[in-house]
Structure 1
Amino acid sequence: MSEIKDEIILRGLKENNLKNVDLNISKEKITVFTGLSGSGKSSVVFDTLAAESRRQMTMNYPLYVRNQMPKYERPHADLMQNLSPVVVVEQRPIGGNSRSTVGTYMDIHPLIRLLFSRIGTPSIESATDFSSQSSFGRCSECSGYGEVVAPDLNKMVDFDKSLRDYAVKFKPLSPSGWQGRWMMTGGLFDPDKPIKDYSEEKRQLLLYGPPNGERVFAPFHTKNGPQDHEWDGLLPRFVRLYINRDISKLKQVSQDDVFAVSSRSLCQTCLGSGLNPKVLACRINGLNIAEYDQLELTELLEELTKINDPLGESIALQAIPHLKQLVEMGLGYLGLSRKMGTLSGGEAQRVKIARHLGSSLNNITYIFDEPSAGLHPEEVDMLIRMLKSIKEHHNTVIVIEHDLSVIRAADEIIEMGPGAGVSGGEVVYQGKLEGLKNSKAVTTLNHKLKINKHPRDIKEHFTINKASHNNLKNVSVNIPRNALVSVCGVSGSGKSSLMVEAFPESYPETILVGHGRIGISNRSTLATYMGIMDDLRLILSRETGQPPGLFSFNSIGACPFCEGKGITKPDVAFADPVTVTCEACNGLRYSDEALSYRYRGKNIAEILDLTIVEAMNYFDMPKILNRVNTLRDVGLGYLTLGQTTSSFSGGEVQRLKLASHLQKEGQIYLLDEPSLGLHAKDNGKLLDVFQSLVSKGNSVIIIEHNLDFIAASDWVIELGPGGGKQGGHIIFEGKPEEMLTAETLTAEWLSDGVKEGIS
């Protein structure tokens, strides 16, 4: 009798762009999903397999517990069998507020607080008092944050512009947000006069609000008529809404957005620890808890092994396994106080992995979303060993990945495609590594690096002098202008400290495109994010004589039944949540009146259903054409104008951010790992965009591990030689061809890639 094969059975998958997909996925194997960005990988793995497993797991709990848990909707599929519990390790920023650190996330810090409360001297008996969130323990000056954040007027306001022309550079307070529209329509301020031409009194009212003791009101126009709201001044409003609140809880704005228009300085009272002087006076072997937090994890391990007090030793022994897990993941250079929000994508993923690796559970399905992101090629080998270790403990490993080293390590490869968006959603190949080369898959294993043998002549430089941010060792470097420059090195080597912190201080005009979230909601679309929506409404308004608001599903044009959502969620009490397409508008989100008006044969919903490529042939307005062209240039031609930003992958978000900045020339573009989420076939398109930007007189600097990008650069700078205290030095600077003979880690991988066709 033949052995029954244990596998996950999926039939008739229809989530997002999936076209009735059938799949069998082997258990206790490493299965890699690959394919172009937008091909349907996440729709299979996250939106179907993981969602259904989580939904069924919650069904095992009593109703009163389930009511407190996230509710998962049943995915669109005909059949899903043999699922096991899932652990999802994805790229999204780790949850928790802006105080969340490596120590708190890994549950190590509570043990350290307990340790200090039991054996620290002078004694503070309560462990909770060693926290910056304790009313006793927190620093009174910075409320426990460790730094003082204040709005920077010159970063927030362009005094040469009017309110209508986006004088306020912070999006929620600009014309794209309701507060900005209120400032223009409330009658207090002239929306078309440059701010510099305001009288002193008006400018004070706009920026700082009315004098003490006075109150000023202005009408805000809603669909129910004008309503008076109190005007408190641009800066007080910004402080109240975006600094004195936990930014991580806000949907429409990210921490990066707030910091872009703020100044940040170390709190001089607590020197960044967030703790008050009484707490900092308590010590173990000469170190206080803030100094414990600042130690590299390898050093902290040494300190904990020195403790010989029996009670302290028993507490230390509980923390040591967690610390060893992080060190084995190559993160020994981090400290407990490192904020989770400051970790690179690769570092955050490895911290998440370390948290799960201590588990003795098996028969689990582990799902990884591009775990090679943020890893140097040298570190990818360590990642592969970790994936194999998880498999060997009788677990199933499913990985979404583009890195060829990880693909080579798979037991089975599934490629989605053949294209992206509406052109994707099918299984192009499923099988072993050796069958890939004779298939229709776009993934190819004989990928050879192309070294740029004719780099641009360098005439001018950006200069950084004696940078000592974080682990940088007084680094001075010349970075070529009007060139494509790659900055590389192992995790923690100082790349971000040099480029994301030190460089913009010297060159504040730098356009930084990082991995931070964009404001996402089901009402935020590609068209709104790119600033196309306002022009669309104006075009339809001019064509039809109707008010622009009629062509907004957030305003008077919304379907009255679903209020512009396109869906309804009936209250089904204790049953699974169900999303139903609105029967009144068929999911189009607009009222019948709004849909009755047309421009060039299409109503507003049909226009928003156009892909970027289709939109290029539909519009003739230069401003719109310029923006859709840039979206196509960064490889997003398959997306529709009305696609919600909440549905974008990490790689799509970054390219969308890049596209939103590409309208300018003579700029400095700094991109943090732009290859994130890109298939090797897409790399060429993005490289073409970078080369074109440089040819037009821009400077493009990328922080990157991907060898294709490094090989194609005009100039390469490598930091190292290690991470943390072993990093912070420039160990190579020169042309890619010169790097082939250098003796650095990246040079070795680059050289191998040229010789053997390994990427």
Structure 2
Amino acid sequence: MKKTKVAAPKVSSQVHSADVISIKGSRVHNLKDVSIDIPKNSLVVVTGLSGSGKSSIAFDTVYAEGQRRYAESLSAYARQFLEMQDKPDVDEIHGLSPTIAIDQKSNTKNPRSTVGTTTEIYDHLRLLFARVGLPHCTLCGSEIRQLKVGQIIEGIRSILRRGDRIRVLAPLFRNEYVKNEAVHNMIGQIPSDMYRVDGNYVRRNDLQSMPIDETYPHTLEVFMGELEKGKDAGLVDIVEKGLDWGNGMIVVHIVNSDTNTIFSTDLLCGSCGTRSTALEPRSFSFNSPHGACPRCTGLGITMEVDADLVIPNKKLTLAEGAVEPWVRITGNQTWHLKLLAEVAKAHKFSVDTPVKDLSRKAYDIVLYGTGDQEYEVGKKTAMYEGVIPSLEKRHQETNSDYIRKEIENYMHESVCPSCQGKRLKPEALAVTVDDLGVADVVQLSVDEAVDWFSSLLASDKKKEGVLSGDNEKIAKPVVKEIVERLSKISSVGLDYLTINRSMTTLSGGEAQRIRLASQLSTGLTGVIYVLDEPSVGMHPQDIGKLIETLTLLRNLGNTVIVVEHDAEIMAAADFVIDVGPGAGVYGGEIIASGTLEELKKDKNSTTGQYLSGKMEIEVPKKLHKGSGKHLEVVGATQHNLDNVDLKIPLGKFVAVSGVSGSGKSTLVLDILGTFLSKHFYRAKKEPGEHKNVKGLKHIDKVISIDQSPIGRTPRSNPATYTGLFTIIRDLFTEVPEAKARGYDAGKFSFNVRGGGRCEACAGEGYVRIPMQFLTDVFVECDECHGKRYNREALEIHYRDKDISDVLKMTVEEAKLFFSDVHNVSDKLKILSDVGLGYVQLGQPATTLSGGEAQRVKLATELSRRSTGKTLYILDEPTTGLHFDDIKKLLGVLMMLVEKGNTVLVIEHNVDVIKSADWVIDMGPGGGKYGGRIVAEGTPKELKKAKASVTGKFLK
């Protein structure tokens, strides 16, 4: 028999180590065929200039592919609930395990999300209050206890032991409207010689003949027996029968004091008899109708129409359009004015009188209406409901998002009058544990909460906890879990946050560290964590805590990849990857990789040069003299501020520093920034609590530059935001061919329908193909081939370039191309000066980082004519910036100051604080331990201030 040869299986010549994540040929975004082996179970830092390609490696290659592979392993049904990732442009990736990204962009915009709900602390807190909480009556405040029969008997015996004589009664009905016939039927069924009607004892025979007033509510109770000390035989029978007849309730009338005590096997108030429902975890959820305050639906705030926003200019008459929403929204101002003219005639005032001269009564009629009174308008009759009720009604009833948002322009947020901002129903708010309600507990800061929860349980044999017996057994695992999660939040430097702090109010760095703390609580192993600058917003004092957390995450058996610029975190890393050499098209390469010491020795690594001290950010040799004038905030008391007086020297570079939670943002942004926006630009938002702001005459405008996106859609880009694109489109209209064809600037806009944009893709350059349970595919438009414009627009060339070519240019390329067009090149030079030379003019706003967006805004302001009296407010402008980028940024900020302006920055970066003319340091701690100015002066003076935590890091 002939033997069949079986071919041996082919074995790959390349063996991939299980100890590394091996990337081969990544071309994501600006990466240039990047290949690297990243050690697993290590703390890895990816660093480099802003825009060099750090995130492209960490997030868009490692995380995206790891998440995509995990998602594709799931069923089609499960995939529909996941946000699918695009497949990265990479040849090979080996050694991947499930990936979790913790970035700064994904902070929730949901006002219902709090620190407690995000970390699941609030879920455990709801369970604790439902199981061991002590309910109280919402009417009289007395404790509500659900008793067993044995407890009721013991409670009565304790009354008897005091020497009191008692009568036990069983209520048949309490405070109810009843008919005579029903009363007689009841007493016929229950054999008793004595009853109590509305507090008066009545014999059976008398009650049968006594008429009951059916127009008033009544209480009828059956007399069960009389007992006193030493004469309590039959107590058990009396109680059991009384509970049976009284539907689980008996009333003990203490004769000596003529008072009543109620005992019940249901949840019932012992003083007034008010019934309560059984407590469940959902009773304490503000996201559930079972627990949420009905008035604000659990938000803690309500939207109310503001009379001053409705009639902003009180010098106008009603006939001249003083009621602004009538002009903007209704589209039928004539009808309103005709109706109001009839109302005015009936109530003796005129629509031709300026609003400021109307009587209070007339003003209230205009705003709140005249109820059911009818008026004749032409051939119709109508009621006048008033401007404010009309707007509120329309806001609730409209299905149009546009109308709703328009009406909200005339509304302001206010604390819910029903729950006082506590989000829950009165029944839930009346439940306590150790005399604190759930609303009181969530107002505690993390460090205060750790102490409180720990006090609930006995810590050792000598010390007793607040809870004992069965309650302690029930609460122990819940409390232990809560304390562990709180400790994790504290470990990432956020112990100053309160449990009810809304996630929408957290900075990107704070929100990221909250999610990091949540991941620590899961105890996962074998996971690849990818983090985006977790040190953002952290004071140098707190960096050590963050490093401990990252190390703990690694020691659990995970790979931690961190995009970071902080030198301390780099020093703690097992492996550092430096991406560069430049940014954008000038980056995308691995310049160096290895340990920190290896990086320092690498001459090609800009990062290494700064870390070794060969390159540095120089401290200015001279301080700016300033104008000698000041801007002052007097008596700031918002949040944790302790009656703070802030004095800002004008014409200088001023830094506000301090540990996280010390009150910097509250003082500078919530109070000063908001006040100035309202003062100069009539902004709607109200500033935080303070007494006064002085020195306003010394500045003529305020410009607050934050890290919010420059646009919400890909149609917005640096060219459109800075105004460059308008000038460039005008240049294209001056081309002879464009003039001959009669093209205007709209022909070169990708936003204008019927202009020069490609209508096949609506000027997007790509077409989206829905893929149901897979990620949607974006393919290049067949008509324009990604150029966004139609053939006619692309036929116009300016210096051999069409409009699409110009949008694809980087700032540096465009600077050379438009070098002789001064109004273009000047703006481009400023964009380059702030470190954005690598960014394309048409780069979608949605792809810019927070730091890049902030610098686009800064460049836009720098390009405007300066009056020398402008106050610039920047919130942590160094976020996302490399040492070299910070050096450039400081140069630009100094240019603003040299023109006589004032630059006020909230900052933790030591190099920036050292470069400031004046530093205001807040502290000494965060939360309740902060809220004061502990030191102020030049950086040299701050070094000597013993009370300044920041000063210690300037040495």
TM over 0.5: yes
Q: What CA deviation, in whole Å up to 9, does each residue of 1:728-748 have, x standing for no partner? A: 111110001112222222111
2:654 is aligned with 1:494: no
Could you say if the C-alpha distance between residues 258 and 389 of structure 1 is closer, same or farther in structure 2, counting changes exceeding 3 Å?
Answer: farther
Preserved CA contact (<8 Å) 2:101 2:529: yes
* 1:641 alignment counterpart: 841
2:648 is aligned with 1:479: yes
2:920 to 698, 717, 720: 717
- 1:463 to partner: Cα distance: 0.8
1:567 to 766, 773, 776: 766
Q: Report matched runs for 1:190-589 at 5 Å.
A: 200=321, 205-210=326-331, 264-305=413-454, 306=456, 307-308=466-467, 309=471, 310-436=473-599, 437-443=601-607, 444-447=610-613, 450-458=618-626, 459-508=628-677, 509=680, 510-541=702-733, 543=735, 544=738, 545-554=742-751, 555-556=753-754, 557-572=756-771, 577-589=776-788
SS of structure 2 residue aligned to 1:78? strand
Read off the aligned partner of 1:584 and give its amino acid letter.
Answer: E
Once residues 613 and 151 of structure 1 are traced to their aligned partners in structure 2, the CA distance between those partners, rounded to angstroms, is 50
Preserved CA contact (<8 Å) 2:311 2:323: no
Preserved CA contact (<8 Å) 1:493 1:721: yes
Q: Report matched runs for 1:700-739 at 5 Å.
A: 700-739=903-942
User: Which one has the largest radius of gyration?
Assistant: 2
Read off the aligned partner of 1:373 and give its amino acid letter.
Answer: V
SS of structure 1 residue aligned to 2:522? coil
Farther-moved stretch of structure 1 (608-617 vs 533-542): 533-542
* 2:299 alignment counterpart: 145
- 1:624 to partner: Cα distance: 4.3
2:135 is aligned with 1:121: yes
- 1:45 to partner: Cα distance: 1.1
TM-score by length of 2: 0.67
* 2:94 alignment counterpart: 81
Once residues 440 and 514 of structure 1 are traced to their aligned partners in structure 2, the CA distance between those partners, rounded to angstroms, is 33
Preserved CA contact (<8 Å) 1:33 1:401: yes
Preserved CA contact (<8 Å) 1:449 1:707: no
Once residues 269 and 585 of structure 1 are traced to their aligned partners in structure 2, the CA distance between those partners, rounded to angstroms, is 58
Structure 1: unaligned runs, 5 residues or longer: 160-194, 217-234, 752-759
Structure 2: unaligned runs, 5 residues or longer: 1-14, 137-275, 338-387, 457-465, 681-701
1:22 to 22, 27, 35: 35
Could you say if the C-alpha distance between residues 38 and 259 of structure 1 is closer, same or farther in structure 2, counting changes exceeding 3 Å?
Answer: farther
Read off the aligned partner of 1:115 and give its amino acid letter.
Answer: L
Preserved CA contact (<8 Å) 1:273 1:290: yes
Aligned residue pair count: 689
Read off the aligned partner of 2:533 and give its amino acid letter.
Answer: E
- 1:266 to partner: Cα distance: 3.8
CA RMSD of aligned residues (A): 3.6
Preserved CA contact (<8 Å) 1:453 1:737: no
- 1:490 to partner: Cα distance: 0.9
1:659 to 846, 859, 875: 859
Preserved CA contact (<8 Å) 2:710 2:717: no
* 2:897 alignment counterpart: 694
Could you say if the C-alpha distance between residues 670 and 13 of structure 1 is closer, same or farther in structure 2, counting changes exceeding 3 Å?
Answer: same
Once residues 542 and 244 of structure 1 are traced to their aligned partners in structure 2, the CA distance between those partners, rounded to angstroms, is 51
SS of structure 2 residue aligned to 1:740? helix
Once residues 905 and 312 of structure 2 are traced to their aligned partners in structure 1, the CA distance between those partners, rounded to angstroms, is 28
Q: What CA deviation, in whole Å up to 9, does each residue of 1:75-107 have, x standing for no partner? A: 101111111111211122423512211011111
Greater relative CO, 1 or 2 (CA 8 Å, sep 6+): 1
Once residues 651 and 536 of structure 1 are traced to their aligned partners in structure 2, the CA distance between those partners, rounded to angstroms, is 26
* 1:163 alignment counterpart: none
Read off the aligned partner of 1:659 and give its amino acid letter.
Answer: A
Once residues 461 and 262 of structure 1 are traced to their aligned partners in structure 2, the CA distance between those partners, rounded to angstroms, is 34
Once residues 481 and 120 of structure 1 are traced to their aligned partners in structure 2, the CA distance between those partners, rounded to angstroms, is 56
SS of structure 2 residue aligned to 1:22? strand
- 1:749 to partner: Cα distance: 1.0
- 1:723 to partner: Cα distance: 0.9
- 1:68 to partner: Cα distance: 2.3
Preserved CA contact (<8 Å) 1:151 1:239: yes
SS of structure 1 residue aligned to 2:515? helix
- 1:717 to partner: Cα distance: 0.7
Once residues 208 and 114 of structure 1 are traced to their aligned partners in structure 2, the CA distance between those partners, rounded to angstroms, is 47
- 1:140 to partner: Cα distance: 5.1
Once residues 134 and 674 of structure 2 are traced to their aligned partners in structure 1, the CA distance between those partners, rounded to angstroms, is 40
Once residues 307 and 510 of structure 2 are traced to their aligned partners in structure 1, the CA distance between those partners, rounded to angstroms, is 34
Once residues 412 and 36 of structure 2 are traced to their aligned partners in structure 1, the CA distance between those partners, rounded to angstroms, is 52
Once residues 669 and 490 of structure 2 are traced to their aligned partners in structure 1, the CA distance between those partners, rounded to angstroms, is 25
Could you say if the C-alpha distance between residues 283 and 329 of structure 1 is closer, same or farther in structure 2, counting changes exceeding 3 Å?
Answer: same
Could you say if the C-alpha distance between residues 243 and 60 of structure 1 is closer, same or farther in structure 2, counting changes exceeding 3 Å?
Answer: farther
Farther-moved stretch of structure 1 (7-16 vs 380-389): 380-389
Could you say if the C-alpha distance between residues 30 and 201 of structure 1 is closer, same or farther in structure 2, counting changes exceeding 3 Å?
Answer: closer
1:616 to 811, 815, 818: 815
Once residues 157 and 602 of structure 1 are traced to their aligned partners in structure 2, the CA distance between those partners, rounded to angstroms, is 52
